[in-house]
Structures are given as structure tokens and as C-alpha cells.
């Protein structure tokens, strides 16, 4: 393996790829969590008509400008409009019973809330006949103007937006039934290692371990809206690995991910298998710790391949650093902006590489503080249970004091709830 490239160089290679996933028009009800493939604009004014903001009585503000406790004003109630009724016309110097969300009759321009008036008399059907007012509202009080929430032409979701329930609420209000989204990413997942055992019911022979990377990768891919397909565990067999990748290429998977066998040892065959398949290796080896043997390639059909290291923490770190940014590119999303946090304690660092540290972020009086966790070794899983972020310590740094500000990435890139 040649000279390692920097993390910045590796990310630049990934984010420079121009490909995007195909576009689908899906039902609004199926769009939550999907990525908008084109801008979605509001076709109508919301609200569609000027409406009452509260239950009460619509009035013309100037008709009762003199109302006060000392000089109350009596108004006849000329009618009632409920939610769902068509807009109607009233008369000056009268009031009109309205309900929150009901169309405001013309020419009324203010609403007096129900608890701010005294009903003097009622008709036989229960409709107030006269009301007494002891205060004067301003024009526009408790009135919802047409289009004041979302005027026609408002951008509801830009291309590359992860659609949240709030978007579906806006789409439904605007009468939008179908939404253009990116196709869900189909991802082929492989594991390598003759020591791995997939079935939890199988007894472990001496030297064997349970396969933990594959279920983690599948879960993380599902968490980010992908459709993972676990192909198999390849028992350190280059030909079998190559056949599996050829199958993924034939079926045009946009992305394939494997773990293990990416370093420079005698049994690290992934790079050789890729070349034998006719793939183009984009980079092989990045100056990071853990995870330096990470590999990225283009498969013959144009899809991407990420070879992650086999150690669990290395696999997790490289998935977070490389797979998720690549998935963002394929979805047409904007690049992620890392958080920043203050170190809660001193940290010793490896100055030769970008160091990735498992950490726990917590808010301290509005400031994110990062506690670096014990058990930073690449094979340790326990610290992953407590961690919620990766800290990125830049190369050239051998020590950072408590209070230093460092970049941080949440363990999960929560597209549905961006920071």
C-alpha cells in the first residue's frame, strides 16, 4: 500500500462524484424520510381565505372604536359562520359569530374573543342576538390573513431536503399528493474473514468470533433510509468475493460495502479482487486512526464500493466518515457541517494522523462539551455503547488541553432532524 492520503483529500474525492440516484414520484404518505429530488413549491395561499383566529365575534374595528367599560357598545349579531362554511357578507354596525378557522365574513376586520364579550340576548335556536362590548379591538386582531402562513409560490422543500413530518403537513395543506424523491439506495453488504460466524445459534470453535460488523452496517444503512442487502460472509476467498461484487455490479447496486481484508497483509485481498474485476480504485489508505486501511473504488457498472476495516470501531468510524458523505452525494444533499465541542479533559493525540475519538457530547449551559471515553482501541465495542459522537483531532497535534474546541460528528447523521 502506498502513501496514505489525508482525510480532507479522501472526502474531496468522494464528494466530487457527480452521480445521483434516480428520481421517483411517490405518494405524499410514502415520502417521509425520503430525500426531495427537486424543489417543491406551494401552489396555493395558506390559509386559502382570511379566517377567524379564535372563537368569538367578527366586527369592524371602527364600528366599536369608542367601546370601554364606561361606554359599552351593543351590537346585534347578524349571523354565524362555522368551519367549513363558505365566506359570506355581513353588514356594518353588526357582529357575526365565528369560530377558530372559519372564514371571516366581509366587511369585518377584527375578532373579539368569546370570553371578552357579554351575550345580552339569544334567539330561540341559541344564536346570540345581541352582545355588549367593553373594549375596542384593533383592525386585524385575532384574524388570520389569506396567505399569511405560506403564500402561493413558497418553497416548501428544496432539492436535497430530508422530508420530515412537518413537510408532509405542509404538502397535505397545499393539496400536494405526489412528491419527487430520490430512489432509496440499494446497498450490497459483505463481510470477510474465515473466523466469522453469522448465526448466533452456532457454537464457536476455537479462534472464531461472532460477525458484529454486518448487523451493525445493515442497521445503520436502514437508519439512513437505505435498502441494504446482506450478501454473504466471504471466508477470505478472493474469487468468491469477486463473484459477489460482480453480482452486485450486474444488478447495478449504487453502493457496495464490505468489512475486513483491506489492509496490506497476505490475506488482505480486497484491492486485488477489485482490480481483477476491472474496478477503478479511487483511494486506498487514509491517514486516520482508527481506520487507515479504508478503500474506495468505482465498480465496472459505475456504482461505488467502500471497503471498511474489520475491527469494529474502525468499521464504525469509516462508515461515519466516508459512507454517509457518499450517500449524501448520491441523494443530492448538501455536505454535512460538523459540530464543534469543548473538551472536558486533556487529551493525548497521535500527531501523524487525524485521530478519531469516541466521545460523549452533552450540553453544559448551552455549550457542547465532549468527554473522551476510555477504550479507544479499534477492536473495542464497549465504548461505542456510551459514545454519541466522533471527535476529529487534526494531524500535527500531540496534546490538547481541556477547553480546546474540536470538530465533532454525531454517531448518526440525523438527516431527518438536521442541526
User: What's the pLDDT tens digit per position in 377-398?
Assistant: 988 999 999 999 999 999 998 9
| Residue 134 is assigned to a structural domain of this protein | yes
Q: Give percent above pLDDT 90 in the chain.
A: 77
Assess whether 393 and 308 both reside in one domain: no
Last residue of one domain, picked from the residues 119, 144, 169? 144
**Average pLDDT score over residue span 103-107:** 95
List the single range of 104-113, 124-133, 195-204 with lowest mean pLDDT: 195-204
Assess whether 300 and 399 both reside in one domain: no
Assess whether 307 and 345 both reside in one domain: no
- Whether 123 has a pLDDT exceeding 90, the answer reads no
Nearest to 228 by CA among 264, 188, 196: 188
What is the grid cell recorded at 392? Answer: 476529529
Q: What is the pLDDT of residue 419?
A: 36
Assess whether 93 and 198 both reside in one domain: no
Number of domains in the chain: 4
Assess whether 403 and 358 both reside in one domain: yes
What is the grid cell recorded at 145? Answer: 390573513
| Residue 1 is assigned to a structural domain of this protein | no
| Residue 394 is assigned to a structural domain of this protein | yes
Q: Which domain holds residue 40?
A: 24-46+148-182
- Whether 8 has a pLDDT exceeding 50, the answer reads yes
Mean pLDDT for the chain overall: 92
Q: What is the pLDDT of residue 393?
A: 95
Assess whether 368 and 396 both reside in one domain: yes
Assess whether 287 and 366 both reside in one domain: no
- Residue predicted with more confidence, 119 or 18: 119
Buried b vs exposed e over 151-183: b needs ≥16 C-beta within 10 Å? eeebebbebbbbbbeebbebbebbebeebbbbb
**Average pLDDT score over residue span 123-149:** 93
pLDDT in tens, 236-246: 788 889 999 99
pTM score: 0.86
Assess whether 272 and 235 both reside in one domain: yes
Confidence of residue 1 (pLDDT cuts 50, 70, 90): low
| Residue 419 is assigned to a structural domain of this protein | no
Nearest to 298 by CA among 284, 278, 280: 280
- Whether 55 has a pLDDT exceeding 70, the answer reads yes
The CATH number of the domain holding residue 250 is: 3.40.980.10
- Whether 53 has a pLDDT exceeding 90, the answer reads yes
pLDDT in tens, 302-328: 999 999 999 999 999 999 999 999 999
| Residue 416 is assigned to a structural domain of this protein | no
Last residue of one domain, picked from the residues 144, 167, 201? 144
Last residue of one domain, picked from the residues 266, 300, 330? 330
Q: Give percent above pLDDT 70 in the chain.
A: 97
Q: What is the pLDDT of residue 417?
A: 47
Buried b vs exposed e over 202-213: b needs ≥16 C-beta within 10 Å? eeeeeeeeebeb
**Average pLDDT score over residue span 114-127:** 89
**Separation CA 401–CA 398 (nearest Å):** 10
| Residue 136 is assigned to a structural domain of this protein | yes
Assess whether 171 and 191 both reside in one domain: no
Assess whether 115 and 17 both reside in one domain: no
| Residue 2 is assigned to a structural domain of this protein | no
What is the grid cell recorded at 142? Answer: 385575532
Assess whether 294 and 209 both reside in one domain: yes
User: Distance from CA of residue 2 to its chain's centroid?
Assistant: 37
| Residue 415 is assigned to a structural domain of this protein | no
Would you list the DSSP string of 132-165? EE-S-PPTTTTEE-TTSSB-TT-EEE-TTPBP-H
Assess whether 391 and 272 both reside in one domain: no
pLDDT in tens, 151-190: 999 999 999 999 999 999 999 999 999 999 999 999 999 9
**Separation CA 64–CA 220 (nearest Å):** 63
The CATH number of the domain holding residue 113 is: 2.170.190.11
pLDDT in tens, 246-280: 999 999 999 999 998 888 766 678 888 999 999 99
Amino acid at each position: 500500500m502506498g502513501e496514505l492520503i489525508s482525510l480532507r483529500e479522501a472526502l474531496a474525492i468522494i464528494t466530487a462524484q457527480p452521480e445521483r440516484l434516480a428520481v421517483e414520484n411517490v405518494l405524499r404518505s410514502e415520502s417521509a424520510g425520503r430525500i426531495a429530488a427537486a424543489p417543491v413549491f406551494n401552489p396555493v395561499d395558506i390559509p386559502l381565505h382570511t379566517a377567524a383566529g379564535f372563537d368569538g365575534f367578527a366586527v369592524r374595528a371602527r364600528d366599536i372604536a369608542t367601546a370601554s367599560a364606561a361606554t359599552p357598545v351593543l351590537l346585534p349579531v347578524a349571523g354565524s359562520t362555522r368551519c367549513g362554511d363558505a365566506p359570506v357578507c355581513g353588514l356594518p354596525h353588526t357582529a357575526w359569530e365565528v369560530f377558530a378557522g372559519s372564514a371571516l365574513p366581509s366587511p369585518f376586520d377584527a375578532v373579539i374573543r368569546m370570553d371578552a364579550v357579554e351575550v345580552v340576548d339569544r334567539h330561540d335556536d341559541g344564536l346570540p342576538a345581541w352582545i355588549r362590548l367593553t373594549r375596542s379591538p384593533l383592525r386585524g386582531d385575532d384574524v388570520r390573513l389569506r396567505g399569511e402562513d405560506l403564500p402561493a409560490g413558497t418553497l416548501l422543500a428544496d432539492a436535497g431536503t430530508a422530508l420530515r413530518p412537518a413537510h408532509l403537513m405542509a404538502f397535505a395543506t397545499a393539496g400536494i399528493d405526489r412528491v419527487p424523491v430520490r430512489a432509496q439506495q440499494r446497498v450490497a453488504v459483505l463481510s470477510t474473514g474465515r473466523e466469522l460466524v453469522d448465526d448466533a445459534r452456532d457454537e464457536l470453535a476455537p479462534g472464531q468470533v461472532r460477525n458484529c460488523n454486518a448487523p451493525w452496517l445493515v442497521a445503520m444503512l436502514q437508519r439512513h433510509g437505505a435498502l441494504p442487502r446482506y450478501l454473504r460472509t466471504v471466508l477470505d476467498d478472493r474469487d468468491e468475493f469477486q463473484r459477489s461484487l460482480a453480482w452486485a455490479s450486474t444488478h447495478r447496486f449504487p453502493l457496495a460495502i464490505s468489512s475486513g481484508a483491506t489492509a496490506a497483509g497476505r490475506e488482505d485481498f480486497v484491492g486485488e479482487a477489485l482490480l481483477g474485476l476491472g474496478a477503478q480504485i479511487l483511494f486506498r489508505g487514509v491517514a486516520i486512526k482508527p481506520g487507515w486501511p479504508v478503500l474506495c473504488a468505482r465498480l465496472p457498472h459505475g456504482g461505488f464500493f467502500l471497503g471498511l476495516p474489520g475491527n469494529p470501531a474502525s468499521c464504525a468510524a469509516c462508515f461515519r466518515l466516508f459512507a454517509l458523505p457518499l450517500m449524501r452525494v448520491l441523494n443530492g444533499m448538501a455536505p454535512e457541517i460538523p459540530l464543534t465541542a469543548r473538551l472536558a479533559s486533556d487529551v493525548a493525540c497521535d500527531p501523524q494522523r487525524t485521530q478519531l475519538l469516541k466521545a460523549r457530547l452533552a450540553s453544559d449551559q448551552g455549550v457542547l462539551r465532549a468527554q473522551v471515553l476510555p477504550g479507544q482501541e479499534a477492536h473495542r465495542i464497549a465504548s461505542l455503547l456510551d459514545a454519541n459522537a466522533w471527535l476529529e483531532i487534526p494531524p500535527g497535534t500531540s496534546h490538547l488541553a481541556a477547553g480546546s474546541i474540536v470538530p465533532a460528528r454525531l454517531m448518526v447523521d440525523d438527516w431527518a432532524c438536521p442541526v
